[in-house]
Amino acid sequence: MNSQHSGLSPQQAAQKAFVDQFEYQPQLLVYAPGRVNIIGEHTDYNDGFVMPCAIDYGTAISGAKRTDSLFRVYAVDLQQWDEFDLNKPIEPHPEYKWTGYVRGVVKYIQQKCPEFKCGADLAISGNVPLSSGLSSSAALEVATGKFCQVLGNLALTNVEIALIGQQAENRFVGCQCGNMDQLISALGQKDHLLKIDCRTLETEPTPVPHGVAVIIVNSNVKHDLVDGEYNSRRQQCEQAAAFFGVKALRDVSIEQFQQRESELTALDAVVAKRARHIVTENQRVLNAAVALKKGDLQQVGVLMGQSHVSMRDDFEITVPEVDYLVALAQEVIGDSGGARMTGGGFGGCIVALAPEEKIESVRKKIADHYEKHTGLKETFYVCHASAGVSVL
């Protein structure tokens, strides 16, 4: 969902399209942000720790209640329609993938709140770059969930809305993602990163130090996580947890891992590498939260660098273009911040934390070298940590 070409914000684009397409005034406008994960990659479905922030790119839904049970949905940025009936079983659309995020959420809201029966007309627009690893799908799921909650006056918390979004992605769309993306879209706080314990769902806001920018650079290597790589990483992590006799790799300390690392490597060297990434990455998130509270950006940068190396060598989810972007950014940032791959992997974006005065030199360094070296043109975003889902 992508309205960035029209010059309108997603909120404006959704409202305008609603009036144009449905020819009456909307009653409700909901907005949910995308996210970038600063550190803690693939730890969420291992019951671990993550530290994302919501960003100032997101998805808006403008809509109104109908008197029947039909959901009529217009995707502004794709100029595509979907229609389904709440009184019939909700199945995936035969060709449009985006509809799964809406249909799946509505289906699981109905399961949780059987009283939800009212149809609606919706216009959806967003400006989260697609296939970039910034969670356009979670923004759409959380916006849809919040829309239904307000429309039906349902007793759902934002955490429950986030978990319904995850359920839709896992069961309806078929990507075995964890709960991070939906939780940060639902719970984000302005000017803060959010340390999330993906097992207990406890959150701890961690301020972004003053004068520090969140830079996102899209490699424009497209990825699609529903393809087997993501799900196979998840299975490898489950195999490792079974080896250690625990519910999830969250329960394995670095010391415990090291004690049995050679034994696991002898059994399955790949599974051992995957486990090493998760166990060390969980600790890096905890260390980064402490460093950020002290305003120690140099230490945060060291941890981000270690995280990237671990994703490249142990989890094997980076691509050469992304590795190159991280190297270019890190060269300029030096020890005043850090850079790493962010998102599910196999393309997508890097994230950097850097002093605001370094933004332009990072931008220039990448513009001068990346396209020459890779044949792809990067997209450069400076983001601000933003609030989660809102009703406008």
Judge whether 169 is annotated as a binding position.
yes
Mind telling me the catalytic residues? 181
Judge whether 390 is annotated as a binding position.
no
Q: Which residues of 326-342 are buried (b: 16+ CB within 10 A; e: fewer)?
A: bebbbebbeeebbbbbb
Judge whether 133 is annotated as a binding position.
yes
Judge whether 43 is annotated as a binding position.
yes
Give 346-371 as a DSSP string.
Answer: SSSEEEEEEEGGGHHHHHHHHHHHHH
Cα–Cα distance, 13 to 28 (Å, whole number): 14
Judge whether 93 is annotated as a binding position.
no
Judge whether 334 is annotated as a binding position.
no
Judge whether 132 is annotated as a binding position.
yes
Judge whether 62 is annotated as a binding position.
no
Q: Assess contact for 248 and 68: CB atoms under 8 A.
A: no
Q: Assess contact for 77 and 49: CB atoms under 8 A.
A: no
Judge whether 230 is annotated as a binding position.
yes
Cα–Cα distance, 176 to 229 (Å, whole number): 11
Judge whether 136 is annotated as a binding position.
yes
- How far from 3 is each of 57, 59, 131, CA to CA, in Å? 10, 9, 15
Judge whether 24 is annotated as a binding position.
no
Residue 361 Rama label (left phi>0; alpha psi -120 to 50; beta): alpha
Q: Facing residues of 50 across strands?
A: 196
- Measuring CA to CA, which residue among 376, 364, 336 is closest to residue 352? 336
H or E stretch at 186: helix 180-187
Give the tokens for residue 237: 């992590």
CB atoms within 10 A of CB 152: 18
Q: How many CA within 13 A on the CB side of residue 284? A: 28
- DSSP letter (8 states) at residue 386: B
Judge whether 238 is annotated as a binding position.
no
Judge whether 131 is annotated as a binding position.
yes
DSSP helix/strand/coil, 381: strand
Binding site per annotation, positions for ATP: 131-137
Binding site per annotation, positions: 41-44, 131-137, 169, 230
Binding site per annotation, positions for Mg(2+): 137, 169
Binding site per annotation, positions for substrate: 41-44, 230
